[in-house]
Each structure stands twice: as C-alpha cells, then as structure tokens.
Structure 1
Amino acid sequence: MPELVFFSGTMDCGKSTLALQISHNRSARGLQGVIFTRDDRAGEGKLSSRLGLVTEAVEVTEGMDMYRYLVDRLSRGGKVDHVIVDEAQFLAPEQIDQLARVVDDLGLDVFAFGITTDFRTKLFPGSQRLIELADRIETLQVEALCWCGARATHNARTVDGEMVVEGAQVVVGDVNRPAEEVGYEVLCRRHHLRRMTRASVRAGVLSPDVLPVTSV
C-alpha cells in the first residue's frame, strides 16, 4: 500500500542527504520520481545536502496545488512512481492535505522530509499537519549534537552569534553561516532554554574574570 511518510529531525540531522539517497536508489531501479522543495539553502528549484550534493527540484510556491501539478504531469504522459518533498515544514497545511490525496487517489508513495519545530520550539504548520496525517513518522537516526556534546533536540536562530527568540518563523539560513549573519545552531533543550550558543559560551570563557574584592 502507498504511504505518506514523514522523516523528521533537527536541522543538522541529514534529512536532505537521505532524501537524495532515496531518490538515487529508486532511480537506479528504473523508478521515476518528482522532487519538490521550498526555500532550500542552495536556491530556488534545488535540493541540496551539507555533503555538497545538489539536484534539480520543483520549487513549491505559495498557493501551488501539488496534487494538480502531478495530475497534469500524468495526464501529459509523464511517468511518476513516487514523490519526494524536502523542507516540508515550509508547506502550508492545505498542501500537506494535497500530498495525502496524492497517496490516496493516485496511489503514489510520498516521502516528506522536514524539521518539526522552529527556533521558538513551536511546531511549523506544515509539520503539524504531517504529524496529523502521515501513515508513518520516522525520526532520523543521524544524531545531531549540541556544542556541549549532548543530543541536540532544538533549533536555535542566531544573530551575531547570539540566540534570538523573536522574528518571522521562516528566515532561510544555515548552520554554517558566519556568526555575524543570521544563522542556525542545534542545541540540547537545556542550553536552548538558557540561550547558550557556542559563540556566547566562547565569549564568556574569553571574558576576564572579576578580581576578588579584598579588604586592606
């Protein structure tokens, strides 16, 4: 039976690499898939991984009907055996409904990859709808680590190396951006709650200790 599968994890869990691997493995068996993505760090219409792999993809725009896109493609004689969606957290809830319809009405497997929560620890609407509708939810096994060595479970947005907790939910960035730019860092819950990023901890270590006060 075809399935809607949601592969979820933190920002640094290798989800895009797995998406590319599934695409490659199925292509090697003669299966043709459609790859959708939105707001990939490599630019419009790209699916990229941090290993440097990049492939062409269909950019999902606001208001796009993904079900209709696939029906039109099939109606023109195109072959579609499965669907891969990266950055699924950025999709609108109604687009997740369309993916469920692709599974149920067109009989295609849909593999969606995304992070569940934003930098404020709030669910992305697209991820929430996937959790509600997916036939199966898989937590990615590539373990991301906080700077302290503990398992990273939360995504933090940083500006000038400092963690921020306000702003638009979607701001495209990466975990490898220079500290002075808007970037992201994966943290354990403890250090996310304390807003302790790698840069802020380093700055604290480098700060001179306060001299003890002694009486004369």
Structure 2
Amino acid sequence: MESEEKKMAKLYFRHGAMGSSKTANALMVAYNYYERGKEALLVKPKLDTRDAGVIRSRMGLEQKCSYVEDLLVMSDEEISCYDCVIVDEAQFCKKSDIEFFVHIVDDLNLPVICYGLRTDFRRELFEGSMWLLAWADVIEELKTVCWCGQGATCNTRFDENGKIIRSGAQVVVGGNDSYTALCRKHYKEGNLGPERRE
C-alpha cells in the first residue's frame, strides 16, 4: 500500500514588477534541481520573441528552453520524465495553458513554478496572471524598488522622450529601454525619476 504521506505537487505563481529578478530566480531554481541530479523543464510562451529558445535574465544568466506551446503537445509520459516544470513570462500564457499546468500538478504530481508579471503598464491583469492568481496553490511576490526607494509594483511603459505611456497594445515586448518599475505614487504622477527627466 502506497504511503498517504506522499508529497503532493503544487502550482506556484511567483510574480513581481519588472526588474524583480523573476527570470534570474527561475534559472537559479532550475540549477538547484540540476545540482541535486534532477531535471527541470524550462519553458516560455512563444509570444516572448526575445532570445529565441533561450531564457536570459537582465544580469546575464541564461539557459536554453522549450516553449509552452511545445509542452502542450507532449505526452504525459514525456512530461513525467522531468522533476519540475518552470515557466518564465507566464503572464503571456492563455487560460488553457494554465489549465494544462493544473493537469501536470494534479494528475502527474509534478510541481509547476510560474514566473511573470501580475499586471501590465495600465495596471490591468494579464490573462495568464489572472488565472494563476485564481488557481495557484502558492502565490509569492518577488520585490523590487522604485527610483525613490519605495516598493515598486507598477510596470511602466515610456517613450523615447521619457514620457509615460498609458494606452496602447497590452503586449509590446521590451526591456530597460521602454519599461521600468515604479511605486504607485510615482506611476500616478508620471514621474520616472531624476535620471530619466529631460
């Protein structure tokens, strides 16, 4: 008879504003699995067009990855060869992707650890984030700070003139050249800080 104490896998959502080291954390977790002789499957949605087939952090850590879309067509047997699934840029996932992650956790008993933004530059939820907030077993915030030193929770898009953009397409893939994290006060004020003022 199998032990009832067998540890059950969980669906994790680790979210944070831009610059909160989400990708670096994902890569470190994958390395921790590797160090213990286990294998983590790293994936990201194809919507993230930066660095095809690679997950790369702002601080220079990188590792090859597959895509969420590839994971969706893998058999349960193929997925079960891994010890964990790690998803970067999970905000770009669809509801059906999150449902598949739930299947991996509940039916295959494999942990799925998702990293992503909670909200976009308008402070509205992404589809993937919304369903992760609804269904994840564990929700953790990775912290970062605004230029003023307060906690930053607002992902802020800005133009080449240093003006905050408050409307437009939800997804415009970019980095430090077009996004920054601000506290709510400075987001509302449109204040990018002294280094970005004209």
Paired residue for 1:138? 140
**Equivalent in 27, 39, 43 of residue 51 of structure 2:** 43
**Equivalent in 52, 71, 74 of residue 66 of structure 1:** 71
Q: Distance in 1 between matches of 2:83 and 2:181?
A: 35
Paired residue for 1:210? none
Gapped regions of structure 2 (runs ≥ 5) = 1-7
One-letter amino acid of the structure 1 residue matched with residue 111 of structure 2 = D
Paired residue for 1:152? 152
One-letter amino acid of the structure 1 residue matched with residue 182 of structure 2 = L
Q: Distance in 1 between matches of 2:34 and 2:196?
A: 45
Aligned pairs (5 A) from 1:1-216: 1-38=8-45, 39-40=47-48, 42-60=50-68, 64=69, 66-71=71-76, 73-74=78-79, 79-140=81-142, 143-160=143-160, 161-175=162-176, 177=177, 183-198=178-193, 202-203=197-198
Q: Distance in 2 between matches of 1:27 and 1:190?
A: 42
Q: Distance in 1 between matches of 2:196 and 2:59?
A: 27
Q: Distance in 1 between matches of 2:35 and 2:70?
A: 29
Q: CA deviation at 1:73?
A: 2.5
Of structures 1 and 2, the larger Rg is shown by 1
Paired residue for 2:5? none
Structure 2 residue matching 1:47: 3-state secondary structure: strand
Q: CA RMSD in A?
A: 1.9
Percent sequence identity is: 38
The 1:41–1:53 alpha-carbon spacing in structure 2 relative to 1, beyond 3 Å, is farther
- Contact 1:41–1:48 (CA under 8 A) maintained in structure 2: no
TM-score (normalizing by structure 1): 0.81
Query: Comparing both chains, which one has the higher relative contact order based on Cα–Cα distances under 8 Å and sequence gaps of 6 or more?
Result: 2
Aligned length, in residue pairs:
189
Q: Distance in 2 between matches of 1:25 and 1:138?
A: 19
Q: CA deviation at 1:171?
A: 0.7
- Contact 1:40–1:46 (CA under 8 A) maintained in structure 2: no
Q: Deviations over 1:69-113 (max 9, x none)?
A: 252625xxx721110000000001110111011111111110000
Q: CA deviation at 1:155?
A: 0.5
Paired residue for 1:214? none
Q: Distance in 2 between matches of 1:148 and 1:51?
A: 22
The 1:81–1:192 alpha-carbon spacing in structure 2 relative to 1, beyond 3 Å, is same
